[in-house]
A and B are shown apart, each in its own frame.
Chain A
Amino acid sequence: MATRHSMGGKIFVYVDHFKGKPLPASWEVVGAARKIAGENGMSVSALVLGQGVERIAQPAFQYGAGEVLLADDASLADYRPEPYAALISKLAKDSQPEAIFFPTSTRGRELAAMAAIDLDTGVIPDVIEIEHEGGKFTATRPIYAGKLLAKVTCSAKPALLTLRVRAFGKPDKDIGRSGDITKVSPALNEDQIATKVVDYAPTEGRVSLGDAAVIVSGGRGLSNNPSLQPPADITDEKQKEIWRAQQGFKMLGELAEVLGAAVGASRAAVDAGYIPYAHQVGQTGKVVSPDLYIACGISGAIQHLAGMRTAKVVVAINKDSDAPIFKLARFGVVGDLYEVIPALTKAFKERLHK
């Protein structure tokens, strides 16, 4: 039951959310879809799947969706790829959109992958630029950890694209905008689904690293504060070092709090046991694209740069003026981060009225 809103085709957007809380990246994708749709006489349909997620429709309209296809069902309460992909594919087969856009999240990528098989089409993952010409989508995406860019075309319809987080800019929000909600039923029954979500454990910490607009990141240099005295019951040298580094990360956390930032870490800091892997930025950690990346005590080894080189503004604070990170840094401070960071936290508190 496809509703034709315009002469052109449709762009579907999968609105990614977790337990009903939409990811900011989803709105970036709606915004990007709306822009391309506008340029090509197409319309945007937002796909909202879950349970108790009807309220996600409103911001979807406000960010630019013309219609929302809403599937609200117990079998969709917890995200599972099979029922979600099956439904997305069914909706696509029914409406024949030109493309389906997904945010490049853990869910978005695998749903695109699976829908591509159902729809016998292809996926262009993690794109940073999209062109639409002569009915075909061409997108630019990083390869070799961003060392090169590839312009990629999908020859089949619908073209499935996942959009890199923070690559398409903050979308405009029109509070007054609204649209039609079409309710759809899930494609699979519960007994047709071979997986069950048993439990969920949240990551310790605040802002999700992948989504963060601002990241304060720490490296091995964080343990370098000999004047910090560990409590007497810590006798092992390695444990003392870890304790010092953890105090250092607490200090970074205070700055992060003031800036509304996530805390990241270099591989060296993670491997040394200073902070869990969830915070690692780099080749085998998370690739991030924040607006502001503050690197503290991070030398800037090649694998770390691969994870944050697309940050808009890099600030580096390091004792070693030869640290490679300074080449990438818009602003650099050669100094002791144990002096600079508390001072910076204070300075920002004053200026941002926190």
Chain B
Amino acid sequence: MDFQLSEEHRMVQKMVRDFAQSEVVPVIKEWDRKQEMAPFILPRMAELGILGINIPVRYGGQGFDYLALGLVCEELEAADSTLRVVMSVHMGLNSMALLQWATEEQKQKFLTPQAKGEKIGCFGLTEPGAGSDVAGMKGTAKKAGDEYVLNGEKMWISLATKAHHALVVMRTNPDVADSHEGLSAFILELDRKGVKTGDIHGKLGMRAGSTGWISMQDVRIPAANLLGQEGEGFKIAMSCLDNGRYTVAAGATGLIRASLDASVKYAHDRRAFNREIGQFQLVQQKIAYMVQQYEAARLLYLRAGWMKNMGQRNTRETSLAKWHATDASFDAANEAIQVHGAYGYSDEYDVERYLRNSRGAIIYEGTSEIHQLMQAGYALGYRKDAELRCELPAYDVEYWQAEK
């Protein structure tokens, strides 16, 4: 069992870290205050190839593996969570689903431009009235000849106003007995007639990001935009979440690290009662827990990434990683604020932003409560993963790196 990262992985990690720390960190606070996404972020991530990091070269990607994706997400979120959200929706929830479920034509048409960063992808599952209760969604897609007509509203959609393509899940069959089986997944170009998007402001965190809504009114899309088969929508959505959650787990790990690093630095810089505060045991305790949480979170997401590389079903392991890391990142940020004292309460330092950003991840991509139910289900034998018609392809170096 080799716990070492390869030289290639380390170099990728360093490159993304350098980018995030030198180009984003110096300006992110201002954008967070403005509640706007900095316009340079998406083009720059596209330019650097980050938006296609683990997609095969033949589909316009950089040909790295799923571990690289995790490492990249850890580095991005250590700078700001909104950077990692880009990877979660564009790559985890959308592009990787295309890799897993799309036809060759769909891959050429949608995946390749996304991997190249020419188009941005997002994911439309959640509705104003349906979050955890996915099957309770109301948005519909009615077959009409060789088209589908989409009606409905999706909410809490990251990059809604910035993306070109949305992977949406809609109800195609309202009459089926099990509502899970009445859903289908579609690739929706957001510039189609009848599509409206908008931003949601006033969020507690993720303020330097873009969270919005997508409204569909009699939107007509070709039947060729159906992803997978009719009725597979729920299964596809769950498999999307396996990948989205993975990026969240990796990112939240980076957030724990950011809280830890900030706390260590401050503990050395700040003096009280004639010594640096790192000398006080209660400060040390907080830092010790951050270390423990960081290392555990890191191992959990790396294992999930490794399983993806191996082509092994990893729903359970990814869920565990996400639940652990997100809860831990909230605790770490909370304690980091305490270490900083009053300064932690001010946006002069980064830790209050870490706390506000961390809170969202406990809710999205499966609430912590959902993950608890999943883990208990696996442990008690109530829950078993059935094989999917299409699995996420195992990482194969030659296939990923060949031009054709």
Contacts and interface: CB of A to CB of B under 8 A. Distances in A.
- Direct chain A–B contact by Cβ atoms under 8 Å: yes
Interface of A: 237, 268, 271-272, 320, 322, 324
Interface string B18-48: 0000000010001000100000000000000
A272 B30 CA distance: 13
B276 interface: no
B2 interface: no
Contacts of B34: 237
10 contacts: A237-B30, A237-B34, A268-B26, A271-B26, A272-B26, A320-B348, A322-B269, A322-B270, A322-B343, A324-B269
Contacts of B26: 268, 271-272
Nearest to A268: B26
B287 to A, nearest CB: 19
A271 B270 CA distance: 27
Interface string B75-114: 0000000000000000000000000000000000000000
A272 B269 CA distance: 25
B341 to A, nearest CB: 10
Interface in B330-349: 343, 348
Which 8 pairs of residues, A with B, have the shortest CB-CB distance? A322-B269, A322-B270, A324-B269, A271-B26, A320-B348, A322-B343, A268-B26, A272-B26
A327 to B, nearest CB: 10
Nearest to B348: A320
A174 B371 CA distance: 85
A271 B34 CA distance: 21
Interface in B320-363: 343, 348
B266 to A, nearest CB: 9
Contacts of A237: 30, 34
Contacts of A322: 269-270, 343
Contacts of B269: 322, 324
Interface in B203-262: none
A315 to B, nearest CB: 21
Contacts of A272: 26
Contacts of B343: 322
A322 B34 CA distance: 26
A99 to B, nearest CB: 43
Contacts of B270: 322
A222 to B, nearest CB: 15
A322 B343 CA distance: 10
Contacts of B348: 320
A212 to B, nearest CB: 28
A87 B269 CA distance: 53
A271 B27 CA distance: 11
A272 B270 CA distance: 27
B34 to A, nearest CB: 8
Nearest to A319: B348
A272 B22 CA distance: 12
A334 to B, nearest CB: 14
A324 B34 CA distance: 28
Interface in B270-285: 270
B349 to A, nearest CB: 10
Nearest to B271: A322
A322 B344 CA distance: 13
A320 B340 CA distance: 14
Given A268-B26, A320-B348, A322-B270, 7 more contacts: A237-B30, A237-B34, A271-B26, A272-B26, A322-B269, A322-B343, A324-B269
Nearest to B36: A237
Contacts of A271: 26
A250 B270 CA distance: 33
Nearest to A271: B26
A272 B29 CA distance: 14
Nearest to B343: A322
A324 B30 CA distance: 23
Nearest to A323: B269
B57 to A, nearest CB: 34
A320 B34 CA distance: 23
A320 B342 CA distance: 13
B353 to A, nearest CB: 18
B29 to A, nearest CB: 11
Nearest to B22: A271
Nearest to B266: A322
B355 to A, nearest CB: 20
B171 to A, nearest CB: 43
Contacts of A268: 26
B115 to A, nearest CB: 31
A268 B26 CA distance: 9
**Which of A237, A271, A320, A322 has the most chain B CB within a 10 Å cutoff?**
A322
